[in-house]
Amino acid sequence: MDNSSTAVQRNNSEKCYDPQDPTLTFVDGDDELDFLYIGYKSLRAKMSCGHAVTPMSLTDWCRRLLDQGKSRFVCGKCDVEWPFEEVRKMALLTPEEVNEFKKKMFSNAAPNLKVIECPGCKSRVVRTDLSDLSVRCTVCTAERKNIYKFCWQCLREWKGPAPRSDRCDNDGCQSPLEILKIYPDIVFERVKGVTGCPSIRACPTCGALVQHDGTRCKNVVCPQCKVEFCFVCLKITTECQKIKPYSYFDVCSTGVAPRQTSIPVRQSR
């Protein structure tokens, strides 16, 4: 395991800190995450938030958070968020536990966060900070033994300063908001009464940019999240159809939704 801490096993079940580990700050007192009063025998060590844990109580607490559907780890005493790398080190997670935790984190986060394939290794990456386009791939970073980041927008290796929310310094990396702002209006061949509708929209469910070629009806299916929506009013098709009178080939009774000025974030369905 890539972990500077080493586990000392007791009774072949309890993970305990190595008292000679110089990277840990040991403290006297209670195990502050032992909410069930199990009484783990390990030495107590301080988390970054200052609260004392044992590797078993920390593992129990983080597994409880995952079972509750959480995708991030916060202290049970002060609600400070811990990075996964800190949890892995301080909980002395085994390779099997690391795998288990990552799968649950991804599963819990996926309905609410954008997920994309890393352009380097094709592994799935979750963007947790929606204000930063520079995304670190842990797989590529480990393989290259150097931090690897890519641009969420243009899907090329990150270039320029970070964090940044508009674009990277790669040529041709254009902000989706700029695209939504500058693309011309669409001229529908068969949908009547529509004026002032941009030819590119951000999917109202996941935010992916979708272009309508002007043919067929006013509804499109997002290639990313597979949700069908009305290109004119930007409602999910099933919602648009509830507003009467409804027609696939007439302007919506609620009118044309204005040009978007923000990118929607994937919502739970």
- Its sign, for the CA torsion 185, 188, 193, 194, is negative
pLDDT-derived band at 171 (thresholds 50, 70, 90) equals confident
pTM (two decimals): 0.44
Question: In the 8-state DSSP scheme, what is residue 259?
Answer: P
pLDDT at position 99:
85
Q: Hey, how many other C-beta atoms are within 10 angstroms of the C-beta on 125?
A: 23
pLDDT at position 131:
67
Q: Quick one: how far is CA 211 from the chain centroid?
A: 25
- Its sign, for the CA torsion 127, 133, 134, 140, is positive
Question: Closest Cα to residue 197, out of 221, 230, 240?
Answer: 230
Q: Quick one: how far is CA 194 from the chain centroid?
A: 36
Helices 55-67, 95-109: crossing angle, 10 deg rounding = 30
125 half-sphere exposure, CB direction, 13 A CA radius: 25
Which tens digits make up the pLDDT trace of 17-48? 999 999 999 999 999 999 999 999 999 999 99
**Mean of the pLDDT values across residues 206-225?**
86
Which of 56-65, 179-188, 206-215, 217-226 has the highest average model confidence (pLDDT)? 56-65
How far, in Å, CA of 266 to CA of 268, rounded? 7
Give, for 27, the enclosing helix (H) or strand (E): strand 26-27
How far, in Å, CA of 127 to CA of 149, rounded? 12
**Mean of the pLDDT values across residues 192-208?**
91
Which tens digits make up the pLDDT trace of 234-244? 999 999 999 88
pLDDT at position 130:
65
pLDDT at position 208:
82
Tokens (6 digits) for 148 = 């690897």
How far, in Å, CA of 106 to CA of 124, rounded? 9
Which tens digits make up the pLDDT trace of 99-108? 888 878 766 7
pLDDT at position 57:
97
pLDDT at position 113:
52
Tokens (6 digits) for 255 = 């009118």
- Spatial contact of 93 and 99, defined as CB atoms under 8 Å apart: no
- Spatial contact of 164 and 132, defined as CB atoms under 8 Å apart: yes
Which tens digits make up the pLDDT trace of 97-133? 988 888 787 667 655 456 677 888 988 887 777 668 8
| Beta-bridge partners for 201 | 210
If you write DSSP's letter for every residue of 40-84 in order, what string do you get?
--SPEEE-TTS-EE-HHHHHHHHHHHHHTT--SEE-TTT--EE-H
How far, in Å, CA of 193 to CA of 256, rounded? 10
